[in-house]
Structure 1
Amino acid sequence: MADLSSSRREFLKLAGLGLAGWPVAAAAGGTRAGRPQPAYLVYVGTYARPDADSIFLFRLDPKTGALTRLRAEKAGENPSFLALAPGHRYLYAANEVSEYQGAPSGFVSAFAIDPRTGGLTPLNQQPSGGAGPCYLRLDGTGRAALVANYGGGSVSLLPVAPTGPVQPPAATHPHRGAGPNPDRQTAPHAHCIIPDPAGRFAFAVDLGTDQVLGYQLDAAQGRLTPLAAPAFTARPGAGPRHLTFHPNGRWAYLINELTSSVSALAYDAGAGTFRELHTLSALPAGFTGANTCADIHVAPNGRFVYASNRGHDSLVVFAVAPGSGRLTVVQHMSTQGKTPRNFALDPSGTILLAANQNSNTIVTFRINAQTGQLTPTGRSAEVPAPVCLQVVPDFTAK
């Protein structure tokens, strides 16, 4: 991500205008335990003008990778990052703007989801607690929305009412510090905040300070209490961006935007801290062009880690060593578009969907369950400036 004062601001301005020891996943396509493989719904957040269609809904056919557009919703300006409540009754968007109701803040929008159509009904909006909110995540209970404010260099917790609306921030914490990169790290830039698997801690990744900051999380009481020391400090100038946990809860993986690398981490669930296992390049050997990393996900079966490169415009596939959590590069695959900001895997780990922000496409890939390798399905969909993908089982009436 570029600093709001540089390339990111310019883009927003234009928008305003096979391994042993692991279970083997079911084969792609066909049936699963004698039953047809279910379809999925895909919600897409975008950069968009205030009056434009800005959240899109598609149906994904996991047998073919085909995406069928179902709806387009007007959800305000730049609903760039999306999160769904447990049970998929509500959807939340981080509207990535620098000012809301005259204050230096973005905002969070809440929507009720129509169980028949997947359509959205606006519930309310609340300030995000800082400018440029770029990441949004609900805790496992659905009681708290956690927001990372990139431009404001802060994180916030917004309580969520049982009927879906978000409440004003109950806690907002500005980050402190800077990093060595003179273009990107002159101030804090919170880029991600996620709960740990137990819901005891939340971890905020700050690109500007090269830190992962830990918080005690009490979703029921709306509390987010900073820990005394950083949970992890990345290498100087790394610019950490997103963090994700392995399904076993013992490992985590951190993507570093500025050095185009991925760090494998061991997680101490008692202390709320991480220890670096090793760090690998996300780029193929010999590549010398400009690149920044963006997104990272672990396959549902825990055997593979996927990460995206913007510039090289690719997805890198890593195999996870079952005993240690360390990574080995398996493949680099072109995303067949420009600037893969975000991507997602369907819940079965059959299909990967890449959101190519600057070529306005979502491209689908078949995942080999035994090797982790990607193969293009030949299917894609057009979406203006796609930023975030959320894939859920298709709950709509057929």
Structure 2
Amino acid sequence: MTAIAASCLAPMTSAARPIGKKVRSPVALYANVGRDLTRYEVDVEAFTLTRRETITLPDSVQYAWPHRSRRFLYVATSNTAPGNGAAPGNSHHLVALKIEEGSGALTPHGLPVAIPTRPIHLSTDISSENILVAFNKPSGLRVYKINDDFTVDGEVAQAGPIDPGIYAHQARVTPDNKLAILVTRGNEGTPTHAEEPGAIKLFDYENGRLSNEISIAPDGGRNFGPRHLDFHPTQPWIFLSIETQNQVALLRMKDGRVVPELLFRTGTLAEPDRRRARQAAGAIHVHPNGRFVYVANRAEQTEELSGTQVFKGGENGIAVFAIDPGSGQPTVIQHVDSRGIHPRTFHIDPSGRMLVAEHNLPVTVRDGDALRLVAAGLSVFRIEDDGKLEFMRKYDVDVGAQSMFWMGMVVI
């Protein structure tokens, strides 16, 4: 996906569309605050977002993905809070929403379907006949059928149990619709808990059914915490964001399989030796023209200062990499501040001219001898012809006691 983002809306992009070509169809951006999912009208010429109506869903939005027709949006919701220490919730759903052609307004389409635990990611297969849902705790992968009327049906029965690894974070289907990939992050070691290894789980995929599982786990998954991947639009390349090592790497496909060796494990941080708090690589998206790949860098830890929790410091922004057209090797060409704390997700509009990053929470930061609050919100960037980003504006969002957790754009 050059996806929605995450990310994650690759089916809606045009791989051959160069930078600078005008989009003929309007674009909608959707972003949540807790249970509320708001539509923004996108002007890719002026680089502006105009807030429109809001729809309230059963639980807080975790992730969303459009049907290939662009007329429906499938949303995963949960009342479980993020993080390993969160208490388990009791309400988790898949929700189908109808997208109004031309405006992008959302309306419910069928009844929400209950699912067992908090979903952390979902995507449809290439034909949009099924929804793949990744669950982080306990780690899992389930497939749900999309009915002929585009509502969500029940779970697709599998022939037997699978090994879902530790802390699944993303589920994708390869562009040929023949392999399902479950990215499992594992967990970093702490003074009281040993490291839990990460892995990439691969399955043969046919009509929603998973089989013949294999695992890619360099060095047994030690020092390997993958988060998200994205596919190159024309080459057999898969770009991987490795969260816990703050790296981007390349996988290759050959003869319909994923070659297990990771190539070009390249750092994402501008100052890798200056760690002020935990850093985590985040969402990853390949530009629609296939020349660049973008990765989020995130930091959000705080410390107490005179009774106030204050940001410890760290890199929050987007790392921009040029892709070698022969080998696929990513080479960093820019680090840009995203103008907020913790850009959990970002997305590139289908024309490849605009990038929008979402920051999930307000955080107090030091400003000289004073303190100031950096709001949650949406930062808008122009994508130049050389792939680099130019900051245009930020839209602050008052999230109250909730958080922004997901956003993405769809041609409507």
Q: Same fold (TM over 0.5)?
A: yes
The whole-number CA distance in structure 1 between the counterparts of 2:77 and 2:56 is 12
Amino acid in the other structure paired with 2:341:
K
The whole-number CA distance in structure 1 between the counterparts of 2:172 and 2:23 is 33
Superposition deviation, residue 232 in structure 1: 5.2
Distance 1:381 1:89, change over 3 A: farther
Superposition deviation, residue 108 in structure 1: 1.1
Aligned 8 A contact 1:243 1:254 in 2: yes
What are the equivalent positions in structure 2 for 1:51-62 lying under 5 Å apart?
54-62=36-44
1:388 paired with 2:406, answer yes
**Correspondence for 2:244 among 247, 258, 262:** 258
Superposition deviation, residue 116 in structure 1: 5.3
Amino acid in the other structure paired with 1:195:
V
Matching residue of 1:337: 340
Distance 1:67 1:193, change over 3 A: same
Aligned 8 A contact 1:265 1:274 in 2: yes
What stretches of structure 1 of length at least 5 have no aligned partner? 1-21, 49-53, 178-187
Matching residue of 1:93: 75
Amino acid in the other structure paired with 1:196:
T
The whole-number CA distance in structure 2 between the counterparts of 1:120 and 1:56 is 9
Distance 1:127 1:269, change over 3 A: farther
1:317 paired with 2:320, answer yes
Matching residue of 1:287: 274
The whole-number CA distance in structure 1 between the counterparts of 2:27 and 2:270 is 32
**Correspondence for 1:73 among 55, 58, 63:** 55
> What is the aligned-residue RMSD (CA, Å)?
2.5
SS of 2:361's partner is helix
Matching residue of 2:131: 145
Amino acid in the other structure paired with 1:296:
I
Matching residue of 1:271: 257
**Correspondence for 2:18 among 12, 25, 29:** 25
* CA offsets 1:260-303 (integer angstroms, 9 cap, x no match): 11112222342344431120111113431221111000000001
SS of 1:167's partner is strand
The whole-number CA distance in structure 2 between the counterparts of 1:299 and 1:383 is 30
Matching residue of 1:328: 331
**Correspondence for 1:296 among 261, 264, 284:** 284
What stretches of structure 2 of length at least 5 have no aligned partner? 1-14, 82-87, 187-196, 300-314, 363-375
SS of 1:230's partner is strand
Aligned 8 A contact 2:291 2:325 in 1: yes
Amino acid in the other structure paired with 1:300:
P
Matching residue of 2:185: 207
**Correspondence for 1:230 among 215, 227, 240:** 215
**Correspondence for 1:308 among 296, 303, 321:** 296
What are the equivalent positions in structure 2 for 1:165-244 lying under 5 Å apart?
165-171=151-157, 175=163, 188-208=166-186, 209-219=197-207, 222-225=208-211, 227-231=212-216, 233=218, 236-244=222-230
Superposition deviation, residue 254 in structure 1: 0.9
Distance 1:171 1:233, change over 3 A: farther
Matching residue of 1:367: 383
Superposition deviation, residue 143 in structure 1: 0.5
Superposition deviation, residue 107 in structure 1: 2.1
Aligned 8 A contact 2:288 2:351 in 1: yes
Distance 1:358 1:87, change over 3 A: same
Higher relative contact order (CA 8 A, sep 6+): 2
Superposition deviation, residue 230 in structure 1: 1.0
* CA offsets 1:101-151 (integer angstroms, 9 cap, x no match): x997732111222335423222122233x4221101011111100110011
Amino acid in the other structure paired with 1:308:
A
The whole-number CA distance in structure 2 between the counterparts of 1:37 and 1:114 is 17
Runs of 4 or more consecutive aligned structure 1 residues displaced over 6 Å after TM superposition: 102-105
1:43 paired with 2:30, answer yes
- Structure with the higher strand share, 1 or 2: 2
Matching residue of 2:3: none
The whole-number CA distance in structure 2 between the counterparts of 1:383 and 1:199 is 40
Taking structure 2 as the reference length, what is the TM-score of the superposition?
Answer: 0.78
Q: Which region of structure 1 is more displaced relative to structure 2, 209-218 or 297-306?
A: 209-218
Distance 1:231 1:38, change over 3 A: same
Taking structure 1 as the reference length, what is the TM-score of the superposition?
Answer: 0.80
Distance 1:325 1:55, change over 3 A: same
The whole-number CA distance in structure 2 between the counterparts of 1:107 and 1:138 is 16
Aligned 8 A contact 2:347 2:409 in 1: yes
Aligned 8 A contact 1:362 1:386 in 2: no
